Amino acid sequence: MSDGSARLAQFQGGAECRRESEGPLGLTLMGRTAERPGEVLRLAFAAPAPPGLPVRFFEDVLVERTAADQYRIAAGGREWRFAARALYVQRDVGAAFYRAIPGRPAPLLRRVLYRVLLALARSRAGLALLRAVRR
């Protein structure tokens, strides 16, 4: 990266490439990031996929911005350079969100009520009792 390029992402253990012939986003790379293990990252480029780009990378993949609208994908000793009008980045932050804001446990009375209802629903007599109460 000493040539002035900026690292955008590094996928750990490979990435999937999706090509779209319709619409503005012609190439999407998706995989797990090396920087934040377990986090899924999607990079969508407003450009067609470069020729020879595989459908799936099985090695670590590095994506760099080499100039204003120029990008480089490197994996397995090979590289692909292409131009894109725009780049859209989507990170799956769900796991971090739910770690920061844990779910609220259900109140005790509600948990007991559901356990009783499920226990009644397991038998014919319990189902008959629930139908009678409902009427």
**What is the structure's pLDDT at 20?**
85
**What is the structure's pLDDT at 38?**
76
* pLDDT tens string 63-83: 999 998 999 999 888 899 999
Residue range 122-126: mean pLDDT, rounded = 93
- Please check the confidence at residue 21 and state whether its pLDDT lies above 80: no
- Please check the confidence at residue 2 and state whether its pLDDT lies above 80: no
Residue range 5-26: mean pLDDT, rounded = 85
Say if CB 32 and CB 12 are below 8 A apart. Answer: yes
Residue 61 host element (H or E): strand 61-67
